[in-house]
């Protein structure tokens, strides 16, 4: 018996619309990365991009737990001495809320050419409006699992 490998023409890509309003950041992003990688499909192959397109709306209404709004930092480096810049989650939520989800999902994808191709299928918007109405995205309802109720 031969191992099945999906061909590019056989891969059917769907569009998923996810509302981030009130969702926990890490739990939401792990589900988004799962859809981008294609692990929810029966034809999943680790060396092929079988994932779907994902549109995330209401990124500005994302929820985090604990003191992450003040303590969590996002770093960037210009390459020059003294060029390290740090931005808190609180400032990021005000200025660029979509970058928070993009950054978290990018870290959950493979760090290869394949991962960069998967990342291009992610579209994140701060509000409810998005320009992908024509794709007829299927609304995905991602629920937060309550703490302690996983084994019940």
pLDDT at position 141: 79
Beta bridge partners of 16: 54, 138
pLDDT tens-digit map of 75-105: 999 999 999 999 999 999 999 999 999 999 9
pLDDT of residue 137: 78
Task: Work out the average pLDDT over 38-63.
Answer: 94
- pTM (predicted TM-score): 0.87
User: Is the CATH number 3.90.1180.10 carried by domain 14-64+99-140?
Assistant: yes
Give pLDDT tens digits for 102-127.
999 999 999 999 999 999 999 999 99
**Cα separation, 44 vs 12, whole angstroms:** 12
What are the tokens at 56?
Answer: 């995330």
Q: Would you list the domain boundaries of the chain?
A: 14-64+99-140
Asked if pLDDT for residue 152 goes beyond 60, the answer is no
Please answer whether residues 142 and 76 qualify as being in contact, where contact means their C-beta atoms are separated by less than 8 angstroms: no
Give SS3 for 107. helix
d(CA 42, CA 85): 43
DSSP state of 143: P
pLDDT of residue 147: 53
């Amino acid at each position: 018996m031969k191992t099945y490998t999906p061909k590019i023409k056989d891969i059917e890509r769907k569009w998923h619309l996810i509302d981030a309003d009130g969702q926990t950041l890490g739990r939401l992003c792990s589900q988004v990365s799962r859809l981008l990688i294609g692990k929810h499909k029966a034809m999943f192959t680790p060396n092929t991009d079988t994932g779907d397109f994902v549109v995330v709306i209401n990124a500005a209404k994302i929820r985090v737990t604990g003191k992450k709004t003040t303590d969590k930092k996002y770093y960037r480096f210009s390459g020059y001495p003294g060029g390290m810049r740090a931005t808190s989650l609180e400032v990021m939520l005000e200025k660029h809320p979509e970058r928070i989800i993009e950054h978290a999902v990018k870290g959950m994808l493979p760090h290869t050419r394949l991962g960069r191709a998967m990342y291009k299928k992610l579209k994140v918007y701060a509000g409810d409006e998005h320009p992908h109405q024509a794709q007829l995205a299927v609304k995905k309802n991602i629920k937060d699992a309550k703490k302690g109720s996983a084994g019940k």
